[in-house]
């Protein structure tokens, strides 16, 4: 293919306001990869890769994969389907690396049309649901402080999967009467999850995300049979083909760009989930406003939005979609609509 699109990549050093801890660990320092695709007129499309160790990627593996994929750039940024298929054929896996290039091509294509990406997709920004704001694992005192600090957000998502989950919920409920959703990040056994269900109910939790390990689909189903709230698959659902086996075992799926590897795959996931009457959530990693904004353009298609990755940062280098007060506001500028701060 003609290399009329030039690719460059650099590492972004991101820092969260508070250490961001989930059931399998966490930190305050995160590194993502900023990918730029430049056409012959000097117009740039941007993307971001949030390498996740859990899914087998590091910033270094992303850079190596981007170098390879860069040898197969389409001559025309609108050749999205062919380009994404070609990258997946060249080197499997590496979804964060592939989605960064997918974001950059979508950014460039929508800039050429002169419309925001969600308009290129025919979506109405006003249809986007409110976003949650996540409270990571911490001491009870710090959790209370974080909840107060996040006073503007009407829906909180709390990370559980510890041996003091009930105490965390009690702290949260004693501090606020806002809506609470729970993400156990695979931290429970089926028995523990079923035992936790009445506790979640007591504290008015409205959604439970990924209680058990990814491969335990039957376990998700067993939990769902005891549950009065929706059970959402996150780590159990990476791409569209993961959805049919989940039908009957969960109430919905969580789409993350860094898991599915392409914006077009994300839209396919919405279609497959809807065809099976499943709820659709869009989530994120700890990432800057580039990746958050790319996901935010999909938000008008989904029921549950959890796009606080950039809001949790102390040093987001970019500006794009915002979630002030939980209200998701999409950029009106062409493309992703992301600018440097
Ligand atoms: Mg999750």
The 8 Å CB, 24+ separation contacts for 159-162 are 159/21, 159/22, 159/23, 159/134, 159/135, 159/183, 159/184, 159/185, 160/23, 160/184, 160/187, 160/188, 160/196, 161/22, 161/23, 161/185, 161/186, 161/187, 161/188, 162/23, 162/137, 162/187
**Which pLDDT belongs to residue 108?**
98
Q: How far is the CA of 234 from the centre of ligand 1 (A)?
A: 5
Helix (H, G, I), strand (E, B) or coil at 10: strand
> What is the C-alpha separation between 138 and 284, in angstroms, rounded?
20
Q: How far is the CA of 253 from the centre of ligand 1 (A)?
A: 10
**Which pLDDT belongs to residue 1?**
44
Residue with tokens 């030039």: 6
Contact assessment for residue 50 and residue 286, using Cβ atoms and an 8 Å cutoff: yes
Q: How far is the CA of 235 from the centre of ligand 1 (A)?
A: 7
Helix (H, G, I), strand (E, B) or coil at 304: strand
Is domain 6-114 given the CATH code 3.30.390.10 in the classification? Answer: yes
Query: Which H helix or E strand runs over 96?
Result: helix 95-113
How would you label 24-62 residue by residue, b for 16+ Cβ within 10 Å and e otherwise? eebeeebbbbbbbbbbeeeebbbbbbbbbeebebebebb
**Which pLDDT belongs to residue 272?**
98
Angle at 110 between CA 105 and CA 115, to 5 degrees: 160
Which CATH code fits 119-340?
A: 3.20.20.120
| Residues β-bridged to residue 322 | 329
Q: How far is the CA of 282 from the centre of ligand 1 (A)?
A: 10
Q: How far is the CA of 185 from the centre of ligand 1 (A)?
A: 6
**If we measure between CA atoms, which residue out of 152, 157, 161, 160 comes closest to residue 135?**
157
**Which pLDDT belongs to residue 3?**
57
> What is the C-alpha separation between 116 and 125, in angstroms, rounded?
10
Strand order in the sheet with 44-49: 6-22, 25-38, 44-49
Burial of 185 (0-12, 13-18, 19+ CB in 10 A): buried
> What is the C-alpha separation between 273 and 121, in angstroms, rounded?
18
Helix (H, G, I), strand (E, B) or coil at 48: strand
Q: How far is the CA of 23 from the centre of ligand 1 (A)?
A: 10
Q: How far is the CA of 306 from the centre of ligand 1 (A)?
A: 9
Domain positions in the chain are 6-114, 119-340
Strand order in the sheet with 304-305: 133-135, 155-159, 179-183, 205-209, 231-233, 252-255, 279-282, 304-305
Q: How far is the CA of 74 from the centre of ligand 1 (A)?
A: 33
* pLDDT tens digit sequence for 191-205: 999 999 999 999 999
Instruction: Render each residue's pLDDT in the chain as its tens digit; 341 residues.
Output: 445 899 999 999 999 999 999 988 999 999 999 999 999 999 999 999 999 999 999 999 999 999 999 999 999 999 999 999 999 999 999 999 999 999 999 999 999 999 999 999 999 999 999 999 999 999 999 999 999 999 999 999 999 999 999 999 999 999 999 999 999 999 999 999 999 999 999 999 999 999 999 999 999 999 999 999 999 999 999 999 999 999 999 999 999 999 999 999 999 999 999 999 999 999 999 999 999 999 999 999 999 999 999 999 999 999 999 999 999 999 999 999 999 99
């Amino acid at each position: 293919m003609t290399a009329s699109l030039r690719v460059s990549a650099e590492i972004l050093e991101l820092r969260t306001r508070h250490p961001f801890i989930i059931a399998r660990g966490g930190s305050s320092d995160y590194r993502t990869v900023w990918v730029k695709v430049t056409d012959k007129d000097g117009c740039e499309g941007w993307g971001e890769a949030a390498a996740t160790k859990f899914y087998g990627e590091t910033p270094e593996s992303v850079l190596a994969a981007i170098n390879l994929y860069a040898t197969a750039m389409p001559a025309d940024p609108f050749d999205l389907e062919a380009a994404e298929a070609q990258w997946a054929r060249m080197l499997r896996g590496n979804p964060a690396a592939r989605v960064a290039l997918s974001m950059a091509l979508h950014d460039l294509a929508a800039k050429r049309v002169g419309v925001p990406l969600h308009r290129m997709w025919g979506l109405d920004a006003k249809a986007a649901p409110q976003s949650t704001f996540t409270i990571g694992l911490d001491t009870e005192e710090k959790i209370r402080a974080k909840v107060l600090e996040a006073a503007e957000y009407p829906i909180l998502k709390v990370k559980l999967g510890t041996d003091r989950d009930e105490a965390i919920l009690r702290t949260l409920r004693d501090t606020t009467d806002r809506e609470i959703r729970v993400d156990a990040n695979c931290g429970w056994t089926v028995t523990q999850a079923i035992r936790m269900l009445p506790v979640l109910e007591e504290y008015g939790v409205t959604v439970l995300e990924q209680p058990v390990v990814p491969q335990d689909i039957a376990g998700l189903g067993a939990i769902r049979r005891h549950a009065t709230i929706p059970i959402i698959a996150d780590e159990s659902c990476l791409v569209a083909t993961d959805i049919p086996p989940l039908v009957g075992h969960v109430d919905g799926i969580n789409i993350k760009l860094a898991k599915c590897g392409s914006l077009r795959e994300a839209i396919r996931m919405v279609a497959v989930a809807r065809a099976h009457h499943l709820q659709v959530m869009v989530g994120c990693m700890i990432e800057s406003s580039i990746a958050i904004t790319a996901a935010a353009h999909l938000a008008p298609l989904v029921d549950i939005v959890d796009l606080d990755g950039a809001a949790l940062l102390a040093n987001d280098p970019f500006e794009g979609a915002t979630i002030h007060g939980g209200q998701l506001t999409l950029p009106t500028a062409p493309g992703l609509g992301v600018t440097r701060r």
